[in-house]
């Protein structure tokens, strides 16, 4: 059949099972938007308030559903406004396809109105990107973009399409996606010798620990991680991005490891003789001082991306391949046992060094808010976060039972991420209550997306931890810079509850601990209205414990 380039884009989206896209129109994307109008009964377009919000919403949708998120923008500033969201998705291995309009081919390279080399700009932060200047390549490029976004370690792909290509006519032949396009046999080639050595290392270890990262969840290997832990009686910690890959209430769970990990996790890794890292990239926030990380341990690293294995730490047992398949193959050789002495030591640390804070009748403690959110949602909410202290409290005090329940910017640390991601997650998971735990500093960056949530009647909750400061930077200034609080006070008198009401959402101010439950319960009862709860917290509350910069995990201290 003969179709315009814009209609080819829409047909390719439908081929891939896309039913929701996020975006903002503009001159060079106008023909794509005309095609979207005609396809409005098959593809829902969510008009965000800003292109960055569209990219974060596509990201949140992808993380919450496991599908590829899609965002659309016009050329120039529209495309560059996607960059932060694309980089966020790249750092956290999120499958996303960003489609941008571009000036016509005859105007390329002439500093035309709203022309920018978006493929050049995004080359370092995408798995791959394309500029389409020939309509005969459009359909295959779109299909390949989705295959690459999904395949192996997922990530974002950008497709930049010249305006004249969207208007041109071409013969279009439908094609069903082939699963083999993105599940490649090249990821299943771990040798039997490597497997045997890894099994022997696990069976011979007396103080093993498991580090479960986001890769375990992306691979759908949560059940295999649980089996390994229970079968071989191995305690488990997660990275920030791995929250939910192991049940937060399980007796073998030690909590998060690293800079703001539990003392139990950090002491266990320091004392271990085998670290089994599953789908983790060993970031600096995990290992801290390289020479001080698990000094007595052999390192086993199971990951689909060979570039990550040995990048930050020397690895004794590298297993590069599909995590789920590798763990399944290993099951037959791993001996079931009870690590009584080691687990007893872990439990002693748990009892001696639990996460703790002092409850107050006078001021609202942020840890208490997270605990009440957990109890009142029965631990079943999807939690998104902005970036800062509130992000760490959300990781520490809400017990996650599945991987797609905690959605946060870990690698890039993007302030302003959470609200867009919350919108995308709620649209992707309408069966769940989605809560964005936010700090006032992060929230004000993209709060305009409240208008989007109101327009689409999304019953999201924004739990705003308002300490009138850039809390995490302020905490560092106090601890490491002799309390020189440079530009971290943002007490600007903003009435966030009134602001929410002005957008058409529901705003609630909470100033005392006894008001917390009623506010949360009221917000949970809403079915088609966003609710912002403005919790007044103290600017001196700190995330604890902490591993000071440059210190070893064993040097973890309370704040």
> Mind telling me the catalytic residues?
51, 113-114, 163, 472
Best CA proximity match to 53, nearest among 402, 384, 524: 384
User: Contact 513/364 with Cβ under 8 angstroms?
Assistant: yes
Bin 416: left if φ > 0, else alpha if -120 < ψ < 50, else beta.
Answer: left
User: Contact 139/166 with Cβ under 8 angstroms?
Assistant: no
User: Contact 98/159 with Cβ under 8 angstroms?
Assistant: yes
What does the block give as tokens for 463?
Answer: 């739990």
Q: What is the DSSP letter of 137?
A: G
Sequence-ordered list of residues with C-beta below 8 angstroms from that of 254, at least 6 positions apart, any chain: 209, 235, 236, 237, 262, 264, 265, 268, 346, 350
Best CA proximity match to 503, nearest among 443, 452, 463: 452
Best CA proximity match to 236, nearest among 179, 182, 277: 277
CA distance 215 to 238: 11
Residue whose pair of structure tokens reads 């290392």 in the numeric block:
201
Q: Within its chain, how far is the Cα of 432 from the centroid?
A: 17
User: Contact 508/523 with Cβ under 8 angstroms?
Assistant: yes
User: Contact 364/535 with Cβ under 8 angstroms?
Assistant: yes
CA distance 27 to 25: 7
């Amino acid at each position: 059949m003969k179709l315009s380039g814009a209609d080819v884009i829409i047909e390719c989206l439908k081929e891939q099972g896309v039913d929701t896209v996020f975006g903002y129109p503009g001159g060079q994307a106008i023909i794509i938007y005309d095609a979207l109008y005609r396809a409005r009964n098959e593809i829902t377009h969510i008009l965000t308030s800003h292109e960055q919000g569209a990219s974060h919403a596509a990201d949140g949708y992808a993380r919450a559903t496991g599908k590829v998120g899609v965002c659309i923008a016009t050329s120039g500033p529209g495309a560059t406004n996607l960059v932060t969201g694309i980089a966020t998705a790249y750092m956290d291995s999120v499958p996303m396809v960003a489609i941008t309009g571009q000036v016509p081919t005859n105007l390329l390279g002439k500093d035309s109105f709203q022309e920018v080399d978006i493929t050049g700009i995004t080359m370092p932060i995408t798995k791959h990107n394309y500029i389409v200047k020939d309509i005969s390549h459009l359909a295959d490029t779109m299909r390949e973009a989705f295959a690459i976004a999904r395949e192996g370690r997922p990530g974002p792909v950008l497709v930049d399409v010249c305006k004249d290509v969207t208007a041109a006519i071409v013969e279009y032949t439908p094609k069903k996606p082939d699963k083999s396009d993105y599940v490649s046999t090249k990821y299943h080639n771990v040798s039997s010798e490597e497997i045997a050595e890894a099994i022997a290392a696990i069976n011979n270890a007396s103080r093993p620990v498991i580090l479960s990262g986001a890769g375990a969840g992306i691979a759908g290997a949560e059940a295999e991680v649980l089996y390994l832990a229970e079968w071989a009686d191995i305690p488990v910690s997660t990275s920030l991005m791995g929250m939910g890959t192991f049940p937060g209430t399980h007796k073998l769970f030690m909590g998060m490891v690293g800079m703001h990990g539990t003392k139990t996790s950090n002491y266990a890794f320091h004392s271990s003789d085998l670290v089994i890292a599953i789908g983790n990239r060993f970031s600096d926030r995990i290992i801290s001082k390289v020479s001080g990380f698990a000094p007595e341990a052999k390192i086993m690293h199971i990951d689909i991306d060979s570039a990550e294995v040995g990048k930050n730490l020397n690895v004794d047992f590298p297993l590069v391949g599909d995590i789920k398949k590798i763990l399944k193959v290993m099951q037959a050789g791993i001996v079931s046992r009870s690590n009584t002495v080691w687990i007893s030591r872990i439990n002693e640390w748990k009892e001696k060094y639990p996460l703790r804070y002092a409850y107050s009748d006078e001021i609202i403690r942020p840890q208490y808010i997270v605990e009440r959110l957990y109890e009142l949602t029965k631990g079943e909410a999807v939690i998104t976060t902005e970036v800062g202290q509130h992000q760490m409290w959300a990781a520490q005090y809400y017990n996650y039972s599945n991987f797609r329940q905690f959605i946060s910017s870990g690698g890039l640390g993007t302030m302003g991420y959470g609200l867009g991601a919350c919108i995308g997650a709620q649209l992707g998971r309408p069966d769940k209550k989605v809560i964005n735990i936010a700090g006032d500093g992060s929230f004000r960056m993209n709060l305009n997306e409240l208008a989007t949530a109101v327009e689409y009647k999304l019953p999201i909750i924004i739990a705003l931890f308002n300490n009138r400061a850039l809390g995490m930077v302020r905490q560092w200034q106090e601890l490491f810079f002799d309390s020189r609080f440079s530009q971290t006070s943002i007490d600007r008198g903003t009435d966030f509850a009134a602001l929410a009401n002005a957008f058409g959402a529901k705003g609630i101010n909470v100033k005392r601990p006894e008001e917390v439950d009623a506010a949360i319960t009221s917000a949970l009862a809403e079915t088609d209205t966003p609710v912002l709860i403005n919790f007044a917290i103290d600017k001196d509350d700190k995330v604890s414990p902490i591993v000071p910069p440059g210190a070893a995990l064993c040097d973890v201290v309370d704040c």
